[in-house]
Amino acid sequence: MIAGKMLEKILLVEDEVDIQIIVQIALERIGGFKLKVCSSGKEALLAIPDYMPDLVLLDVMLPEMDGPTTLKQIRANPLMADIRVIFMTAKVQPQEISQYIKLGAIGVISKPFDPMMIAANIKNIWRECNGE
């Protein structure tokens, strides 16, 4: 537990309002996390230094700047380089998942997801990443 940092603040980057709404309920109400929502990669890059989330939940298919590009930008900026990222995507073939992990994500939440379960899934990924 020494390396284990508590997961408290999450930033969701997702352009679709329908998904924003349900993730918000699931993570705030069920998961008890603090959540901020951004609608684009650009918005996220501006918000992160202020909000300093523990975790970024990043949709892969975003308009203009997609998820992987956003992740690269996050990694390139020393201020936020070590923030953990989980992708949200419908593409969850094994080779696709390993692609996301190579890019530096700690895990993947597949879409569609069960709103009652997503908070628990995120907690699991977080724990595994902490080696618990």
Partner 1 sequence: MANDSELEIAAELKLLRKAYAGRLPGRMDEINNCWLELLCNNWRMDYLANLHMLAHKLAGSGATYGYTQVSDSAKTLEQKLESLISSGMTPDNSQIHELDRNIRNLHKIIQNTYRANQFDDTILNSPETPYLSLDTQFRTIIIIEPDPEEAQSLAQQIGYFGYEVHTFKDIEEASFLLEQSRPVAIITDIIFSDDDMSGMQMAAQVIKNKAQDSKLIFLSSRSDIAARLHAVRADGHAFLTKPVDITSLIDHLDQLTGTRYKEPYRVMIIDDDVEVANAIAVTLRTAPNDLFETLILTNPLKILAPLTEFNPDLILLDMYMPRVKGQEIAKIIRQLDAFVTVPIVFLSGESGEARELEAVTSGGDDFLNKRVPANHLIDSIKARIDRSRSVRSLMVRDGLTGLLNHTKTKEQLDIEVARTRRRSGILSMAMIDIDHFKLVNDTYGHPTGDRVLKSLSRLLQQRLRRTDIIGRFGGEEFAVILLDTDAQEAFKVINDIREGFAQIHHQFQDHEFSVTFSCGIASFPEFDDASSLNDAADKALYEAKDDGRNRVRIAEKYLF
| Minimum CB distance to partner 1 smaller for 22 or for 129 | 22
Judged by CB, which is closer to partner 1: 101, or 120? 120
* # residues near partner 1 by CB under 8 A: 18
* Backbone CA torsion sign across 111, 124, 120, 32: negative
Binding mask 11-50 for partner 1 (x = CB under 8 A): -----x-xx-xx--x---xxxx------------------
Q: How far apart are CA 15 and CA 103, in angstroms?
A: 21
Q: Do residues 44 and 38 touch, judged by C-beta distance below 8 A?
A: yes
* Token couple for 83: 């923030």
Name which of 29 and 127 has its Cβ closer to partner 1: 29
Half-sphere exposure of 2 (CA within 13 A, CB side): 0
Q: Is the peptide bond before 112 cis (omega within 30 degrees of 0)?
A: yes
Whose Cβ is closer to partner 1: residue 20's or residue 48's? 20
Site residues for partner 1 per CB under 8 A: 16, 18-19, 21-22, 25, 29-32, 61, 90, 111-116
